[in-house]
Every structure is written in C-alpha cells, then in structure tokens.
A and B are shown apart, each in its own frame.
Chain A
Amino acid sequence: MAAGFKTVEPLEYYRRFLKENCRPDGRELGEFRTTTVNIGSISTADGSALVKLGNTTVICGIKAEFAAPPTDAPDKGYIVPNVDLPPLCSSRFRSGPPGEEAQVASQFIADVIENSQIIQKEDLCISQGKLAWVLYCDLICLDYDGNILDASTFALLAALKNVQLPEVNINEETALAEVNLKKKSHLSIRNHPVATSFAIFDDTLLIVDPTGEEEHLATGTLTIVMDEGGKLCCLHKPGMFFHFSLNRC
C-alpha cells in the first residue's frame, strides 16, 4: 500500500517522512550515506580511486602523459578532468556525445581543481617551455543514485593522492626525455576540498546527500565545496532560497 502511494504521489510520500525529520532510507536530514573508498584498484592507470556514496559509484583513473606547455604559461602543466555518465549508470542517459549533465559535472570538477589549487600546475612542469606533464582524469559513474558531484570530487582527490609520477630527465645531448620508472614520487597536494550537496524541499528544508529520487523531487539543489580554510566553488541551482539559511549549511 505504501508502494502504491509512493508511485501515485511521490512528493506527499516524501513530505510525510520529512515531517518526522527523517528520510525513507532511515537517514537523518543531515546524515551522509555510508562512504567506501578503494584506492589504487586500476593497475594500468597512474592513479585511481573508487568511491561509493551509498549506491552512487564513481571511479576515477588518472593517466599522465607528456605535452608541450602552453605558450602563455611555459612553466605550467595541464590537468584535464572529464566526467562520463554512461547509459550503464542510469536509464536517463543515452549513448553518444556527452549530455548536459556530464558536461556540467566536468566543468564543475575543472572549476574545483582551479579554484582550490589542489595541485600547483607549476609542479607539473618538467622543463620550462619544452616538456610538461598532462594529467588526464577520467571520472566514470558506474551507478547513479544522486549526488554525483560530491562523489566525483572525492574520487578525484583520492586518485590524485594515489598518483605516482616517474622521474624524468632531459638528456642534454639528444634533447629527449629519459623516464626512470624505478623512481616514482607522489604529487604534492596543497589543498583538500570537500564537496557537500544539499537538496532544497519546499523552499525551507535542506537535506544533505540527496539520493536520485530526492534530487528529482527537490525544488532545487545546492553544492558547496570547502577546503581547509574558507569556501570555494559554491554552485547553486535554484528554487527560491532564503539567504540566511546559507549559514546552516
């Protein structure tokens, strides 16, 4: 009978739970789902991490390759994130070019990397003006149950901590790069940004870590990324919102 009510009036079904300050899966309004992290699972990648936030699963693999540094910044390398939401993770995604959700998520991750300065791009430079590392970060969602942004940020950070780059020397005579695979070093992570997503219900209630259904029913969502100091990329998508409750987040 409850299942019937849920199908016909999903919003009312949810409101009944929210009145008692809890959610259908038994969580409090401010509680995250159980998080699991598995680091270094992909041996062919230079760094990898798998994050599970409840059912939402995101895997991040990082590959490092060589490239010439940009002409306007010859002492910087590149970090290129890409979020992929394949049809595997949810029936709402079709195969083909990346849809809007995937593009927005990729842009969000790129903004987080740039704003929080997780890695100084200068650290990725091997030889000024000639050679630099480019880190391709591929984030693939294996199971979509809401809150993809938090899971992706977390997976990216974990994978970056796992990356080991080999030592590279430029041979003076041949001007070729010599890679020493025996000597590897970790990247220096300057900052540890943490993303928190909220769903806004009926313009008043804030719930943390929304599942797929909650995201669908919510009037708006809000994502805040914080580092050890202050806030970073605060990306807010609407529903009318009282600004004083930003403090509650």
Chain B
Amino acid sequence: MAGEMQIDTPIRAETGAEAGPRGPGCSLRHFACEQNLLSRPDGSASFLQGDTSVLAGVYGPAEVKVSKEIFNKATLEVLLRPKTGLPGVAEKSRERLIRNTCEAVVLGALHPRTSITVVLQVVSDAGSLLACCLNAACMALVDAGVPMRALFCGVTCALDSDGNLVLDPTLKQEKEARAVLTFALDSVERKLLMSTTKGLYSNAELQQCLAAAQAASQHVFHFYRESLQRRYSKS
C-alpha cells in the first residue's frame, strides 16, 4: 500500500515558510497535504495551509445505529475537535456546515443504511480554520474511497476596513478584518456549496469575494490533482 507522501505546492514563488508579507489581492499561503497517515481509519489526511494544520480521519461506509439510519442513503456524521478544551457550540455549528457540504457531494444513495464518519482534529490554528477543515475532509474522503460527485474546497476571504480583499487570511488579519467570509466550492462547475460569514459587508463586496474565491479554488483543485497524481503514479 502506498505510504505517506509529502507534497508541497507553493502558489506564489515568494512564499516561504513565513505567513508574512504577501502581495495585495489574491495569493494563498503555502499548501501541503499528506494522505493515509493513520492506520485505523479507512481514510485519513492532514492538510496544512501556512501554519494552520488539520488532521482528518474518515470511517465508512460502516454500520449505523438503527435510530440514526436513513433508509435510502448514508448517514454522514462530522466531529470537530478543537486544539484545546472541550468541543462547544461553535464547533457544533462548524460541524453542521461541514456536514452539509459533504452531504451535497457524497453519493450517499450508493450506500444506504450505513454511516460515514468524518473526524477532524485541529492541530494548529493560524487563520482560515474552517477552509482548512473542509480541505482536509475532502482529501480524507478521497483517501477512504467514498464515492463523491465532485471534490470540494474551502476558501476564506477577509475584508479589511479599507475594503481590500485578502485571501486565506492569517489569525491577525482575521482579527483586524471588518468581515471574514468562508466559501465552499465544488470542483466541477465552481458552484457555491456553503458559505458562512462574520461581519458587515455589502452585496457588491460579497460578489467580489465570491469571484476571488472561485479564482483561488482553481489553485486548490490543481493542487489536489497533482497531489493525487503523484501518490498513485508511484504505486
């Protein structure tokens, strides 16, 4: 079985290991992804965006409790564990968002009366956490071989007080931003799967952020493709 592969794809030549200065406008941080690193889950992946790192594990399709089973499709469950402390209401809300995104994409009808569980552990949080969780979940679902109709990715945009758009913000940029918007986009037609926002913004700014996120998702999907190609071409 092909072991772990470390794949790095710098999106812009100037990014190094620092989360530091980036060009104004659209540049994403340094990505890295590692698959199949845990032995117990059916699929696992670790996704790094700059300094933010999330580990995901997928179990499924597996047996489901009778109370939770759905007769014609798979029951999807998402568990998000924060880095420190017990999971709270904010985690529940994020779990619901990630679960809805996965449900829209996973072909549950092929595995009725089963359960697919995605467990996410936050290893380090340096901004754009929800987007990183979504990316890790997608890579882990692919690693587990769960049938999906498309891949999905998460992109975060921050709008600062001058109206400048920053993609993939760091923790500091998020704190100082006037609004932070996170989108989940699918790979087939770049359609919007999920969006959640914090802060005040206008309709025009929303459209602008959405367009920027769609452009950025190109890079992410390209990275997914390369990473999977490299993994399967060796074995």
A residues touching B (Cβ–Cβ < 8 Å)? 100, 103-104, 106-108, 110-111, 114-116, 220, 227, 229-243, 246-247
Contacts and interface: CB of A to CB of B under 8 A. Distances in A.
A241 B195 CA distance: 11
Contact of A115 (B101, B199, B203, B206): B199
Given A111-B198, A231-B197, A243-B210, 20 more contacts: A100-B95, A104-B92, A107-B92, A108-B93, A114-B198, A115-B199, A220-B100, A230-B200, A230-B202, A230-B205, A231-B202, A231-B206, A232-B197, A233-B196, A235-B197, A237-B96, A238-B192, A240-B191, A243-B207, A246-B210
A242 B200 CA distance: 23
Contacts, number: 87
Given A104-B93, A240-B191, A220 B104 contact: yes
Interface string B163-193: 0000000000000000000001010000111
A235 B199 CA distance: 12
B97 interface: yes
A198 to B, nearest CB: 13
Contacts of B199: 115, 232
A229 B205 CA distance: 13
17 contacts: A103-B89, A104-B93, A107-B92, A115-B199, A116-B200, A229-B200, A230-B200, A230-B202, A230-B205, A234-B197, A234-B206, A235-B196, A235-B197, A237-B97, A243-B192, A246-B192, A246-B206
A83 to B, nearest CB: 10
Residue of B100, B197, B199 most packed against chain A (CB within 10 A): B197
A230 B204 CA distance: 9
Contacts of A240: 104, 186, 191, 193
B203 A236 contact: no
Given A237-B97, A241-B192, A107 B89 contact: yes
Given A237-B100, A239-B104, A100 B92 contact: yes
A242 B90 contact: no
B26 interface: no
B107 interface: no
Contacts of B198: 111, 114-115, 233
A77 to B, nearest CB: 20
B26 to A, nearest CB: 18
Interface residues of B, number: 30
A236 B93 contact: no
Interface of B: 89-90, 92-93, 95-97, 100-101, 103-104, 184, 186, 191-203, 205-207, 210
A213 to B, nearest CB: 18
A27 to B, nearest CB: 26
A247 B203 contact: yes
Nearest to A203: B191
Nearest to A235: B196
B104 A236 contact: no
A238 B104 contact: yes
Contacts of A232: 197, 199-200
Contacts of B192: 236, 238, 241, 243, 246
Give 9 nearest A-B pairs by CB, closest first: A230-B202, A107-B93, A103-B92, A236-B195, A238-B104, A237-B100, A238-B193, A103-B89, A234-B197
A233 B93 CA distance: 13
B193 A241 contact: yes
Most buried by B among A100, A108, A227, A240: A240
Contact of B191 (A103, A108, A243): A243
A106 B91 CA distance: 12
B104 to A, nearest CB: 4
Given A106-B89, A220-B104, A241 B191 contact: yes
Contacts of B210: 243, 246
A79 to B, nearest CB: 15
A242 to B, nearest CB: 7
Contact of A231 (B90, B92, B191, B201): B201
A100 B201 contact: no
A17 to B, nearest CB: 23
Contacts of B206: 231, 234, 246
A103 B90 CA distance: 8
Contact of A230 (B193, B196, B203): B203
Nearest to B204: A230
Nearest to B105: A238
A128 to B, nearest CB: 23
